[in-house]
Amino acid sequence: MDPDETSYLLPDGTAVWVISPSEASKNLQGLLAFYRSGAAEPLFFGAAGQPEAAIVPFEVWRALTEAATDDEGFDSSYSLIRNRLKNPSGLSIPIEQVAAELGWDLDEPIDESEFKPK
């Protein structure tokens, strides 16, 4: 049986506490009161001490969604690249294929005026 709370070390060295799903369900009412008080710390939960989900205040979620979304398709590009990094094939991918997947036109002239010395 898994412990109800396990320390999990993030890649940057920060430790977070991960609770079991059953323990998370017991804490939802108290977590809501915690968030209403102005606190914004996430609640991490998952099986076997591995973080699989996080509960955050609605306003935090909204701010994260807005920060990660733009008109130029950042969401889909980010998802594609994140998936590639998470599941590397070990094979080199031609730049033309990457450009096509991201919707880039490699023949389009680039305005470099902002990079020229003034």
Instruction: Tell whether the model's pLDDT for residue 1 goes beyond 60.
Output: no
More confident position, 52 or 62: 52
Q: Which two tokens stand for residue 82?
A: 């994140």
**Whether residue 51 is found in the same domain as residue 87:** no
Instruction: Tell whether the model's pLDDT for residue 90 goes beyond 60.
Output: yes
Domain that holds residue 43: 5-57
Contacts of 27 (CB under 8 A, 6+ apart): 19, 43
Token pair 């935090």 in the structure block, residue:
60
| Amino acid identity for residue 41 in this structure | E
pLDDT tens profile 8-56? 998 888 899 999 999 999 999 999 999 999 888 899 999 988 999 999 9
- Residue 89's pLDDT band, with cuts at 50, 70 and 90, is low
Residue 65 falls inside a structural domain: no
Residue 114 falls inside a structural domain: no
Query: Residue 47 class from Cβ within 10 Å (0-12 exposed, 13-18 middle, 19+ buried)?
Result: exposed
Residues forming beta bridges with residue 95, ordered by sequence position: none
**Whether residue 18 is found in the same domain as residue 47:** yes
| pTM listed for this prediction | 0.56
Residue 53 falls inside a structural domain: yes
Instruction: Tell whether the model's pLDDT for residue 7 goes beyond 90.
Output: yes
Q: Could you give the number of structural domains in the chain?
A: 2
Residue 68 falls inside a structural domain: no
